[in-house]
């Protein structure tokens, strides 16, 4: 891990020698001054690189990445279920109110109408992120598929999309919600192994302006 961050091989040299797993070159982050692992991205709001960067969420005030994605998903799910539960309780109260011949409570009707967009937004968020989990993709990757070489099939002449991280529904769920510890994460281990290989190729230097200009919000 130290060799990955410092850019030093076993010989202590500067390390001109690596390419990361999944077919992509090792990318340097010139803001954090580290070698950025595959699927990581620099968040300009938090001013740091985030493993498996998904997006920056203004509602929670934090970047969503490898180890807090499951909590973000649960936040979206609980928010949606709470809004639906409130709508049901309001509907039940209206029914009880009408049975007492008191007519409709129009202030409550207005509140129910005001709540509808939040329910639709929550359902859209849960559905979208469930699809991402099913395919083992992040929001950033889904929006910027054309910018990442590791999603292009090298054997297809038309650069056909191919997801190297898709391991099947159950394994994708485990990979996104229960990732291994950082020091045992396959992306870091693969990058470290590549760093130890002699003549492993030259590092790719991407400017932050090219790779980090799309910090997607909710």
CB 21 within 8 A of CB 38: yes
**For residue 142, what are its two tokens?**
């889904």
| Angstrom distance (rounded) from CA 45 to CA 49 | 10
The one catalytic residue among 43, 57, 116, 169: 57
Distances (CA, A) of 188 to 2, 180, 185: 10, 11, 6
Distances (CA, A) of 143 to 53, 100, 139, 165, 172: 12, 53, 6, 16, 19
**For residue 89, what are its two tokens?**
């309780």
Answer yes or no: 76 catalytic: no
How many Cα atoms sit within 13 Å of 164 on the Cβ side? 15
Q: DSSP letter string over 52-100?
A: T--EEETTTTEEE-TTTHHHHHHHHHHHHHHHHHHHHHHHHHHHHHHHT
**For residue 195, what are its two tokens?**
């760093």
Q: So which residues are the catalytic ones?
A: 57
């Amino acid at each position: 891990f130290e060799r990955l961050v410092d850019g030093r091989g076993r010989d202590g040299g500067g390390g001109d020698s690596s390419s990361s797993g999944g077919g992509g070159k090792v990318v340097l982050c010139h803001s954090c001054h580290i070698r950025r692992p595959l699927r990581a991205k620099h968040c300009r709001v938090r001013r740091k690189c985030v493993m498996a960067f998904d997006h920056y969420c203004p509602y929670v005030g934090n970047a969503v990445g490898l180890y807090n994605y499951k909590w973000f998903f649960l936040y979206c799910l609980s928010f949606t279920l709470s809004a639906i539960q409130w709508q049901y309780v309001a509907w039940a109260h209206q029914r009880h109110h009408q049975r007492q011949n008191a007519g409709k409570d129009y202030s409550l009707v207005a509140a129910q109408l005001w709540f509808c967009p939040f329910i639709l937004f929550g359902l859209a968020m849960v559905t979208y992120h469930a699809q991402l989990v099913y395919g083992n993709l992040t929001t950033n990757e889904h929006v910027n598929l054309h910018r990442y070489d590791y999603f292009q099939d090298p054997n297809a002449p038309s650069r056909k999309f191919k997801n190297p991280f898709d391991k099947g529904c159950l394994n994708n769920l485990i990979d996104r919600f229960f990732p291994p510890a950082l020091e045992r994460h396959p992306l870091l281990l693969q990058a470290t192994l590549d760093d130890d290989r002699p003549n492993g190729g030259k590092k790719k230097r991407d400017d932050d302006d090219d790779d980090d200009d799309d910090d997607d919000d909710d």
